[in-house]
Copies of this chain bind each other. A is one copy, B any other.
């Protein structure tokens, strides 16, 4: 077993994910102390303190990481470049840096550009959360039984770091997420971004367009049922976080949108032609796949 106790953990961004990680680390005694970083004047820091998700509140990321053995970026992706730049000079030798961002290629690139050789950056994407935001919704069990995708840096971004050193850092990050209850899966950043474009970013774009399309028939909204609300639930998530996600995963998202529209056109053509057999076959294919996914996830 990897040692996953950290003397001082800095969590930059104390929203739902950051504060939940603080709660989970403290509940399991995995961190000596937890420093939380938030904006001056926002409520998040005081809520996170009051809920004991963090021990110390900081508004300056550089100050917050000076003694950190582990640093976790948990803001929206758009803030990452400025944070990397800000903490770069302050990070102590041997610090392990990771994140909870939903895209990885761009993040690995930023980290390789900005962070010094005496620290290790390993990308993380804990696939947990909800459409709710803020430390008031944080839960120490948020990560339990969910999947965390972990991305070591690609060869060309490693600088002087040996394979052994990268392997060791990756193992420590995996141990961290497993310690808070997650199932980890290691893969390279490019593949990560393709996967989440398919199962997360595309559904988000589609749910958004569904609500916008339905808004064009406002009277019809009085007839919505549970199906519509389920299908569009993720459209209630934070617009700024998601704008950043789309922008940092542009090629894979564009590709998935193309695949999706092609599939929708196939169904549309079958409906226009009145081809009952083709329509039923497409619906059956989707049902079989979706039933399998739901059963695998919730074994009864």
Contacts and interface: CB of A to CB of B under 8 A. Distances in A.
A282 B206 contact: no
A217 B198 contact: yes
A195 B207 contact: no
A209 B234 CA distance: 17
A194 interface: yes
A233 interface: yes
A17 to B, nearest CB: 13
Interface in A213-236: 213-217, 219-236
Interface in A243-281: 243-244, 246-247, 250, 253-254, 256-257, 259-264, 266-268, 271-272, 274, 276, 279-281
A213 B256 contact: yes
Contacts of A199: 214, 217, 220-221, 223-225, 228
A260 B215 contact: no
B228 A280 contact: no
Contact of A276 (B128, B222, B243, B267): B243
A108 B209 CA distance: 32
Copies of this chain in its oligomeric complex: 2
A204 interface: yes
Residue from A185, A194, A198, A246 with most neighbouring chain B CB atoms (10 Å): A198
A127 B207 CA distance: 21
A228 B200 contact: yes
Contact of A231 (B231, B239, B243, B271): B231
Contact of A268 (B149, B224, B254, B266): B254
A211 B286 contact: yes
Contacts of A225: 127-128, 146-147, 199-200
A149 B225 CA distance: 12
Interface stretch (A22-30, A63-71, A288-296): A288-296
Contact of A271 (B247, B264, B291): B247
Contact of A239 (B128, B223, B284): B284
Contact of A263 (B213, B237, B286, B290): B213
A31 interface: no
Given A207-B231, A264-B257, A280 B214 contact: no
Interface of A: 78, 127-128, 130, 146-147, 149, 185, 194-196, 198-200, 202-217, 219-237, 239-240, 242-244, 246-247, 250, 253-254, 256-257, 259-264, 266-268, 271-272, 274, 276, 279-287, 289-291, 293-294, 297
